[in-house]
Amino acid sequence: MERRKFIRTCCYTTIGLPMLVSVLQSCGLIYYATSTRNANSLIVAKSEFWKVKKNKKVNRSFVLVRIEDDQFPICIYKFEEDKYIASLLKCTHRECELNVGGGIYSCPCHGSEFTITGKVLNGPADRDLKTYKIETDNEYIYLSLS
Ligand code: FES
C-alpha cells in the first residue's frame, strides 16, 4: 500500500470508528446495560433486552456490559427465548476491540470475523473468543466470571 494512502486510511479509521460508535449508540443500536457484580458473576436484568419505543415493547438482540477491571466490553446475545451467549469483544489476533453488527463480531484492525458464539469465521485470528458460562432465573442473567 502506498504510504500516503496508508496514512489516509489510518486517519479515517481513527476518526471514523469513534464517530460510528457514537452514532450507533445514539440510534440505540449499541446499548450498554446496567449490571451489578458479586463475587464471581456479573448480573444483568433480562429487562435490559427490551425498551419501549412509541408505546411498543421492542426487543434488543444484544447488549454490552463492562467490567471494571477489563478494558474490553462483553456482548450478551439473546439468540432464543431465555437463551443467551456472552463473548469478550477482544480479538484473539492482536487484541483490538471488536465491533458488533450484522449478526457477527468483526475486527477493525485486520478484518477477522467471529460468530456470535465466538467461533472464528475469518482470520487472521485463529482462536475463538473468550465466552462466559451463563445461568438465568426469571428476572436475571448471571455471567460466570471465574
Ligand atoms: S487484531 Fe483483530 S484481526 Fe488483527
Question: Does residue 92's CB lie within 6 angstroms of at least one atom of ligand 1?
Answer: no
For the CA of 124, the closest atom of ligand 1 is: 3
Question: Does residue 108's CB lie within 6 angstroms of at least one atom of ligand 1?
Answer: no
* Closest residue by CA, ligand 1 atom 1: 94
Q: pLDDT digit string (tens) for 50-60? A: 888 788 888 88
- pTM, two decimals, is 0.77
Q: Where are the domains of the chain?
A: 1-28, 31-144
Q: How far is the CA of 140 from the centre of ligand 1 (A)?
A: 33
Q: pLDDT digit string (tens) for 94-115? A: 999 999 988 899 999 999 999 9
Report d(CA 55, CA 13) in Å as an integer.
38
Report d(CA 48, CA 31) in Å as an integer.
9
* CATH number for region 31-144: 2.102.10.10
Residues 6+ apart with CB under 8 A from 107: 91, 93, 96, 98, 99, 113, 125
